[in-house]
Copies of this chain bind each other. A is one copy, B any other.
Amino acid sequence: MKPFKGERIFTPGPVEIPDRIREVLGRQIIHHRTPEFTEAFLETRELFKQLVDCKEDNFVFFASSGTGAMEASVLNFFEEGDKVIAVVGGKFGERWVELGKRWKLKVVELEVEWGKSVDPEAVERLLKENPDTKGVLVQASETSTGVYHDIKALADITRDSDALLVVDAITALGVYSIKPHEWGVDVLVSGSQKAFMLPPGLSMLWFSERAKSQLTDRAYYFNVREELKKQTEGQTAFTPAISLILGLREALLILLEEGMDKVESRYRLISKGMERAMETLGLSIFPKNPSISLTTVKPEDISSEALRKEMLKLGVRVAGGQGKLKGRIFRISHMGMDITDMPVVLSVLEIALKRLGYRVEFGSSVGAYLEAISAGLGYE
C-alpha cells in the first residue's frame, strides 16, 4: 500500500508549509521597487522586530540559504586574522570552522562531544586563555545532534568580554522565544525553511549595537551595511526573494498570533511528549540537553536506516544522521508541527519497529505521548 496523498515531512528543514503560506507563495509576483512591496516589507520587518523582541532595526534578510547568513556573519563582523572560538559539537559547528578558515580568521576550536552541550565554563576558560578573542561562534540548536547549547549562559560570559557572541539559530529561532537583545547575543542567524515554515532561500541576520559598531566592508552580495541602509527604508540592495518575503510576513503573523511564549510552550510540550513516547518504546534519546526543535533517537539493537525506510513506505519521512552520526541516529522534527501531528509519526514508527521484529505494543507510544501532554494543554 502506497501513501496516496504524498509524504508527511518530519525532517528538521525543510518542514511542511501551512496552507496559509502556500497560498501566498502561489500568488502572482509583485514588483519589488514599488510602494506595495515596501509597505509589505516594512510590515514584515516590524513583525520580525516583535519576534526577536527588539526596538532597533538591526537586522537584514538575504536571498540565500542559512549558510549565506552564516558566511555574512564571518565576513561582516570580523577582519582577516581575527581570533574566534568556534564551538564544535556537530556538523554545523564544523561549518563555523570552515567559514572562519575560508575568510582567514584564526579559529580556536572548542571540541564538544557530539550529543553534549558546551559547558559555559569551558568557554569562559578559553576566553581567559585567549584574551584577544574577537568572537565566539556557536549553534543554538545543533541540528545534527539534536543538542541545545545554553545561549543565555554563553551571553552572560561574552557580554563582559571583547568577544561577540555569534549564534546560528537556524533551527532555534521561531521555536524558542529567543530574546537576543535582552540576553546579550551579538549576532543571530536564521533561515526560512525551518520554524518559519517556508521554502528555503531566505536567511535572516540580526545583530547588536556592539556588533553594528564593528561592521566591515569585506562582503559584496552579503554586505550587511549596504543592506541595512536599504532595508530600513523598505528596500534592498539587490533583488530580494520577493515571494519568500511575502511568505515570511504570513509566517510571522502565524507565529505572533499564537505568541512566541505559547509557540515555545507548544514545542516544549511536544518535546516532552516525544521523550516519554521513546522511553515507552525502549528507545533512547541521543542528546544530553535536547533541543525542543526535534527528537533525536539512537536505537540500540535496530538499524536507524532500516527504520527510516520502513516509515517511508507509509509516507512518513524522518531524518537520519549527518557526518559521523550517519546511520546511527534518526531525527524527528517538531518544527511547523502541531500537538496533534505527532501521533502520525509515532504510529508509523510503531508499525515500522514491529515489521523489523522489535517488540511493540501498538498504541503504547501514542498513549505515553498523550499522557505526557494532556496536563500541559492549557485549554482557554
Residues of chain A touching chain B, judged by Cβ–Cβ distance below 8 Å, are 6-7, 9, 11, 13-17, 22-23, 25-32, 34, 63-68, 71, 98-99, 102-103, 191, 193, 199-202, 220-222, 238-244, 317
- Whether B25 and A239, one on each chain, are in contact in the complex, defined by CB atoms closer than 8 angstroms, is no
Distance to closest chain B CB from A372 (angstroms): 28
Q: A17-B29, A31-B14, A221-B71 are in contact. Are A65 and B238 (CB under 8 A)?
A: yes
Asked if residues A63 and B98 are in contact (CB atoms below 8 Å), the reply is no
21 contacts between A and B (CB under 8 A): A6-B28, A7-B30, A7-B31, A14-B32, A16-B28, A17-B28, A22-B26, A29-B193, A31-B317, A63-B65, A64-B221, A65-B238, A65-B239, A65-B240, A67-B239, A68-B238, A193-B242, A199-B243, A201-B201, A201-B202, A221-B222
- Residues of chain B lying within 8 A (CB to CB) of residue A17: 28-29
Q: How far apart sit A100 and B202, CA to CA, in the bound complex (Å)?
A: 26
Contact between chains at B22 and A239 (CB < 8 Å): no
Which of B9, B64, B67, B98 has a CB less than 8 Å from the CB of A31?
B9
Q: Kindly list chain B residues whose C-beta atoms are within 8 Å of the C-beta of A244.
A: 199, 201
| B63-A239 in contact (CB<8A) | no
Write out the residue numbers on chain B whose beta carbons fall within 8 Å of the beta carbon of A99.
220
CB distance from A229 to the nearest CB of B (A): 15
One complex includes copies of this chain to the number of: 2
A99 to B238, CA, bound (A): 13
User: How distant is the Cα of A14 from the Cα of B243 in the complex, in angstroms?
Assistant: 11
7 additional A-B residue pairs with CB within 8 Å, beyond A11-B31, A31-B317, A98-B220: A14-B239, A23-B26, A25-B243, A71-B221, A191-B239, A199-B241, A201-B201
Q: Which of A29, A67, A317 neighbours the largest number of chain B CB atoms within 10 Å of its CB? A: A29
Q: Which of B29, B65, B222 contacts A199 (CB 8 A)?
A: B29
With both chains docked as a complex, state the minimum distance between the C-beta of A375 and any C-beta of chain B, in angstroms. 33
Q: What 10 A-B pairs have minimum CB-CB distances, sorted nearest first?
A: A26-B26, A201-B241, A199-B243, A65-B239, A67-B238, A200-B239, A201-B201, A102-B220, A14-B29, A71-B221
How far does the Cβ of A40 sit from chain B's closest Cβ, in whole Å? 14
For A24, the closest partner residue in chain B by CB is B26
Contacts of A64 in B (CB 8 A): 63-64, 68, 221
Interfacial chain B residues near A6, Cβ < 8 Å: 28
B200 pairs with A241, CB closer than 8 A:
yes
Q: How far is the CB of A15 from chain B (nearest CB, A)?
A: 8
* B-side contacts of A199, CB under 8 Å: 29, 241-244
